[in-house]
Amino acid sequence: MTASILCFVVYAYHGGTYLDWSGSAQDRQPPSPGAQPEGTTPEAPGSPESPQTQSQSQSQSQTNQAGAARYPAWVETPKVFDVAQIPDYVPPPFSLGTPIALHPQLAQAIDRFLSRPILTHKQASPQNQAACPLEQANAQVNADQLKNDHERWLAVDTETIDRMRRGALEYLEQHTASEGEAGLIGPGFGLDAKPIRQGSRGIVFAAGNHRTVDRTIGCIKEIQRLGWQLGAIEVFHFEGELTDEDQRQQLRDLGATPHTVSTKKAPGRWKNFELKAEAILRSSFDEVLYLDSDNYPLSDVGALFDSSLFRDARGGNAIFWPDLNRDHPDNAIHRVLGIPCHNAWELDSGQILIAKSGNDGLNLAALYLAQYMAEEGNFWFSGGDKDTFRYAFLALGITYTPAPRWLSLLGHRDPKDNFCGAAMLQYGLDPPRDGHADPADPSHPEPLFVHANLLKHMSGVRPGDVFTLFRRLVPGQDDVRNEYRPAKALHSVTGGGSSVAGKGLCSDIIAFRGGADIETVDTTTSFGGMMKGFEDQFFSYGALPGLWR
């Protein structure tokens, strides 16, 4: 009996087992001869992992295998839909007509993606709902998205899926034709057409209109005040934007370089998401920390680049931070990707840490694929571009690493004594610095990013009373990779925004069933009081509530 359990643990860790929302282990289908299994990637020989970090990673791996108490730190692509469970399944005719014109490594990944099953909603629904039960999914999905997009999800048919997948191939082939096969394999080439130095580091922003540039200038000042010295900073914008010479000079005075992206701003969209992925992939660095203009750090972000979670090549050298919701099992993205719904949070793309050379260079190809998805609005299956990065990694079958702790919300109480969240509070990757530990969970990473995404939608609030409290799962319940049977709290909690009369949009976290304990905490005393002066510092850069643009 002991030997059987041990064999299962080793297989679950290395063989590609993933878990559905209920905590049941699901085995992968065996790979075809000579093919790399979906969702597994070899260690990249050129990946940014030091020997010391590699040794630490191997030690952690052994601990995980022996104790079977934790997931691996990274997320692997789940197995494809099991067509053996679909009696009426008929594989669609599949013929490209011509060989795939991509770098061989990328061609292999895309070929596997194009070969995944193409299912109707009816065919996919049993496997999606078995992995992601509706009782939980209906509570954890973005409610507005479910209401507004559900019919569109169901209307995505097999012909549409085939067309979307082929469109991704055509997009990558077009860029390969113009930039060369090596141009889409990381670290790639800079805007000057010179090879990007592997291991080079920098920070990237996407900002163009007047107020986003003002916020970016304030954010850069704060980053530098907190100690950033590791690399340059670049700010990308659409053609015709960032035309104010005073703003451009302010950026240059701070050591930041403005660049124009080649993508044209699509007309008639409520928001232009096409900028972010291109800003990252066109930047002059291999290792990139991307930040939204309304995202302010609480300590030196340089430490992220040396975190063992980022350096470990098995995790793809890509860190994504969680959002408040999960994909619904009816969401057509599962069928577009050819994989069932699985245990993963949507992304808050207000901060992304990625090495283009990660996953043996395929991280850069994933950025190109995310760019295609951002340009092609039919891929906005989570309300915008934010999850196109995750979808691109899943399409290519490569690993990424989620930040280890679920987010909290930073805000205040409204006149009716209800919590009103104005910002996402995202945590770092490593244990806290001396003096910043939470006594209830001493290893809990300290807060790192204040993504003030709702502040621009608020009214009736004034500086000094905006970020006084934060809402969170109690320490010990927010570890997103906690155990093989998923943490009960994270399967019983959800969050989102709602309109409040006289206030605008407010966000909150709620428990929709037992198992999740939520608390409201004083900002000034938590984590050693590290956020005590944040609000004054934040508003000193000129940010104001209620300014969308």
**pLDDT digit of tens for each residue in the chain (549 aa)?**
333 323 322 222 223 334 455 544 444 333 333 333 453 333 333 344 443 334 344 434 333 333 434 578 899 999 999 999 999 898 877 677 788 999 999 999 999 999 999 999 999 999 999 999 999 999 999 999 999 999 999 999 999 999 999 999 999 999 999 999 999 999 999 999 999 999 999 999 999 888 899 999 999 999 999 999 888 999 999 999 999 999 999 999 999 999 999 887 766 655 566 789 999 999 999 999 999 999 999 999 999 999 999 999 999 999 999 999 999 999 999 999 999 999 899 999 999 999 999 999 999 999 999 999 988 867 777 767 889 999 999 999 999 999 999 999 999 998 889 999 999 999 999 999 999 999 999 999 999 999 998 887 787 777 888 999 999 999 889 998 775 456 789 999 999 988 887 778 899 999 999 999 999 999 999 999 999 999 999 999 877 666 543
Distance (Å, rounded) from C-alpha 437 to C-alpha 94? 56
Q: Is residue 519 part of a domain?
A: yes
Q: Is residue 414 part of a domain?
A: yes
Q: Is residue 467 part of a domain?
A: yes
Q: Is residue 419 part of a domain?
A: yes
Q: Is residue 213 part of a domain?
A: no
Question: How is residue 454 written in tokens?
Answer: 């709702």
Question: Residue 464: which domain range?
Answer: 408-541
Q: Is residue 503 part of a domain?
A: yes
Question: To which residue do tokens 């428990």 refer?
Answer: 511
CB burial string 424-448: b at 16+ within 10 A, e below? bbbbbbbebbeebbbeebeebbbbb
Q: Is residue 501 part of a domain?
A: yes
Which of 408, 409, 393, 395 lies closest to 352 in space, CA to CA? 393
Torsions phi, psi for 252 (to 5 deg):
-65, -40
Question: How is residue 372 written in tokens?
Answer: 């295609």
Distance (Å, rounded) from C-alpha 382 to C-alpha 319? 19
Whether the predicted model's global pTM rises above the 0.75 cut: yes
Q: Is residue 180 part of a domain?
A: no
Number of domains observed in the structure of the chain: 1
